[in-house]
Amino acid sequence: MATSVKIATDTKDKIEQLQAEIKLETGRKVTQQELLDRIVSRQFDSKAALIDSFRDD
């Protein structure tokens, strides 16, 4: 089930930039959903580092 999430314009721009770089480097077009799923999955594996990143804010 898909859920909409509001994101800042600069974050959307970064996602689009990553999509473009992935396509250039790999020749594979990925959706924003695929990209976000992978980012979250990989970051979840090091969630202590993610949690710590909010301590500095």
* Structure confidence by residue, pLDDT tens digits, 28-40: 999 999 999 999 9
Strands (E), the chain: none
Q: Is there a domain that residue 21 lies in?
A: no
Q: Is there a domain that residue 12 lies in?
A: no
Q: Is there a domain that residue 36 lies in?
A: yes
- Contact partners, residue 44, CB within 8 Å, separation at least 6: 50
Q: Give the ranges where 1-57 is alpha helix by DSSP (H).
A: 9-26, 32-45, 47-55
* Structure confidence by residue, pLDDT tens digits, 7-22: 999 999 999 999 999 9
| Domain encompassing residue 40 | 27-57
Lookup: tokens for 22: 């992935």
User: For the whole model, what pTM was predicted?
Assistant: 0.77
